[in-house]
Chain A
Amino acid sequence: MLLSKEEVEHIAMLARLNLSEEEKERYREQLSSILGHVAQLQALNTDDVEPLVSVLAKEMPLREDLPSPGLSLKEATENAPDVKADQFKVPPILDGADE
Chain B
Amino acid sequence: MSNFLETSLAELQTGLRNRDFSSRELTEFFLNRIDEKDGEIKAFLSLAPKKALKKAEEADKRFASGDENLPPLLGIPLAVKDVLAVEGLPATAGSKILEGFMPPYTSTAVSKLLDAGMIVLGKTNTDEFAMGSSTENSAYFTSRNPWDTSRVPGGSSGGSAASVASQMAPFALGTDTGGSVRQPAAFCGVTGLKPTYGRVSRYGLIAYGSSLDSVGVFGRSAADSAALFSVMAGKDPLDATSLDMPVPEINLNGSTNLKGMKIGVPKEYFVEGIQAAVEEKVREAIKQFESLGAEIIDVQLPHTQYAVPVYYLIAPAEASANLARFDGVRYGLRVENDDVIEMVKESRGAGFGEEVKRRIMLGTYALSSGYYDAYYGQAQKVRTLIQNDFLEVYKTVDMIAAPVAPTTAFKIGMHTDDPLAMYLEDVYTLPANLAGVPGLAFPVGFDQKNLPIGMQLMGRHFEEEKLFHAVHAYQNDTNWHTKSPKV
Contact = CB atoms under 8 A, between A and B. Distances in A.
A95 to B, nearest CB: 11
B96 interface: no
Interface residues of A, number: 51
Contacts of A85: none
Contact of B420 (A8, A34, A54, A91): A34
Interface in B321-370: 324, 327-334, 337-346, 348-350, 352, 354, 357-358, 360-362, 364-365, 368
B291 interface: no
Contacts of B320: 15
Contact of A93 (B198, B340, B357, B375): B340
B383 interface: yes
Contacts of A91: 337-340, 343
A75 B379 CA distance: 40
B348 A17 contact: yes
B387 interface: yes
Contacts of B237: 63
Nearest to A39: B309
A78 B104 CA distance: 9
A52 B312 contact: no
Contacts of B434: 52, 55
A41 B333 contact: no
Contacts of B196: 56
Contact of A18 (B104, B244, B308, B345): B345
Contacts of B324: 16
Given A11-B368, A34-B420, A37-B309, A50 B362 contact: no
Nearest to A47: B381
Interface string A37-51: 111111010100111
A51 B381 contact: yes
Contacts of B357: 17, 19, 23, 27
Nearest to A80: B330
Contacts of A60: 240
B37 interface: no
Contacts of A41: 306, 309-310, 313, 378-379, 382
A4 interface: no
B487 to A, nearest CB: 35
A11 B378 contact: no
Interface string B398-440: 0000000000000000000001100100000000001110000
B101 interface: yes
A54 B383 CA distance: 10
A75 B377 CA distance: 39
A81 interface: yes
B343 A51 contact: no
Interface in A58-88: 60-61, 63, 71, 75-82, 88
B48 interface: no
A41 B377 CA distance: 11
Contacts of B420: 30, 33-34, 37
Contact of A38 (B309, B337, B342): B309
Contacts of B340: 90-93
Interface in B184-218: 196-198, 211
Nearest to B367: A14
Contacts of B435: 55
B350 A18 contact: yes
B343 A52 contact: no
Contacts of B285: none
Given A88-B329, A91-B338, A57 B385 contact: no
Contacts of A2: none
Contacts of B197: 55-56
B330 A14 contact: no
A40 B307 CA distance: 11
B105 interface: yes
Nearest to B360: A15
B241 interface: yes
A18 B446 CA distance: 45
A86 to B, nearest CB: 13
Nearest to A89: B329
B149 interface: no
B461 interface: yes
Contacts of A80: 329-331
A30 B104 contact: no
B304 interface: no
For the complex of A and B, 4 pairs with smallest distance between CB atoms: A55-B436, A18-B349, A51-B380, A81-B334
Given A56-B436, A63-B237, A79-B101, 15 more contacts: A17-B357, A19-B349, A31-B365, A37-B312, A40-B309, A49-B382, A54-B241, A56-B197, A79-B102, A79-B331, A80-B330, A81-B328, A81-B331, A90-B329, A92-B340
18 contacts: A8-B361, A16-B341, A16-B348, A17-B348, A23-B354, A27-B357, A34-B362, A34-B420, A37-B309, A38-B309, A41-B378, A51-B380, A57-B243, A61-B240, A81-B328, A81-B332, A88-B330, A90-B329
